[in-house]
Amino acid sequence: MVEILYFAWLRDRLGRSRETLVLPDDGVPSVRDIMDGLRRRGAAYEEVFAAGGGPIRCAINQEFAALDSPVHAGDELAFFPPMTGG
Amino acid sequence: MLVDIRVQEEGFSLDAELARLAGVGLDVGGIGLFMGLVRGDGGLAALVLEHYPGMTESMIARIVAQAGTRFGLLACTVIHRVGRLPVGAPIVLVLCAAAHRGAALEATEFVIDWLKTQAPFWKREEFPDGQGRWVAARESDEAAAARWGMDGPTES
């Protein structure tokens, strides 16, 4: 299982701040694989994870990650827009 | 280096924070200071800031550690507020104490430049009519961080 977190406009659009995802038994998915899977969940997901939906950053276990980073069971995977602090 | 990193809803006392760093040791010759405020342009009423608890603190800690090594800091304080902040309210405070002004001032810029692009905070603008919108990241912030000539202190 992977804990997925959403922040800022992604959370607003999806109507949730977190959810749990069961990983397939075979192979190690990448972040991109997980995004592809999420996109099939409905219109809001399609919009958030669409190729042209705007820049999305991700982190695995609170470290910045890339789209081809592997995701393992027990990981915390976060999706968020580019940061705007300070 | 004495490091103090806080992410909090409540405000802070500039006097108290400055006094604390001034008292770190006799070798402190100057303190660089940056305080960010909620700017009221475009009829803005307030900003609502959210963050990624845990990751925020660890990213700021890495930025501060890098600044400490690069500029030989004696102490550094970073306070970043979250929640709803009305126009004029302080959002962020960066204090860098060093032996000399050059290091103190440069380190302060280094910390705020990297914090803006590498610490997971997001701002939402609120207007008097109740409308709101998420602030888009600015390329000029990325450029400001990039001029330090490194990938970023938060790359693992």
Nearest-CB residue to A7 (from B50, B112, B156): B50
Both tokens of residue B14?
């500039």
pLDDT score for A53: 60
Residue B54 has pLDDT above 80, yes or no: yes
Nearest-CB residue to A84 (from B54, B137, B154): B137
Nearest-CB residue to B55 (from A59, A82, A86): A59
pLDDT score for B105: 98
Report the mean per-residue pLDDT for chain A: 93
pLDDT score for B155: 64
- pLDDT mean over B132-147: 86
Residue A62 has pLDDT above 70, yes or no: yes
- pLDDT mean over B44-61: 97
- pLDDT mean over B46-55: 98
Q: What domains, with CATH codes, occur in chain B? A: 2-146 (3.90.1170.40)
Residue B103 has pLDDT above 80, yes or no: yes
- pLDDT mean over A28-34: 94
Nearest-CB residue to B80 (from A62, A63, A85): A85
Confidence label for A51 from pLDDT (cuts 50, 70 and 90): low
Report the mean per-residue pLDDT for chain B: 94
Lowest mean per-residue pLDDT among B51-55, B97-101, B130-134, B138-142 = B138-142
Confidence label for A25 from pLDDT (cuts 50, 70 and 90): confident
Contact check, Cβ <8 Å, B156/A62: no
Test mutation, B52, B131, B133, chain A, max A CBs within 10 A: B52
Q: What is the C-alpha separation between B148 and B29, in angstroms, rounded?
A: 24
Spell out the domain ranges in chain A: 2-80
- pLDDT mean over A40-49: 92
Given CB atoms, is B120 within the 8 Å cutoff of chain A?
yes
A2-80 CATH choice from 3.10.20.30, 2.102.10.10, 3.30.160.100, 1.20.120.1760: 3.10.20.30
Which chain B residue lies closest to A61 (C-alpha atoms)?
Answer: B55
Confidence label for B42 from pLDDT (cuts 50, 70 and 90): confident
Q: Which H, E and C letters describe B56-102, residue by residue?
A: HHHHHHHHHHHHHHHHCCCEEEEEEECEEEECCCEEEEEEEEECCHH
Residue A30 has pLDDT above 80, yes or no: yes
Residue B120 has pLDDT above 90, yes or no: yes
Both tokens of residue B85?
């902040």
Shortest CA gap B51–chain A (Å): 8
Contact check, Cβ <8 Å, B55/A62: yes
- pLDDT mean over A5-10: 96
Shortest CA gap A42–chain B (Å): 23
Given CB atoms, is A65 within the 8 Å cutoff of chain B?
no
pLDDT score for B151: 67
Residue B153 has pLDDT above 80, yes or no: no
Residue of higher predicted confidence among A25 and B153: A25
Residue B84 has pLDDT above 70, yes or no: yes
β partners of residue A2 = A21
ipTM: 0.93
pLDDT score for B50: 98
Contact check, Cβ <8 Å, A83/B91: no
Contact check, Cβ <8 Å, A85/B58: no
Contact check, Cβ <8 Å, A7/B122: yes
Contact check, Cβ <8 Å, A8/B58: no
Both tokens of residue A82?
């580019």
Phi and psi at B116, nearest 5°, equal -65, -30
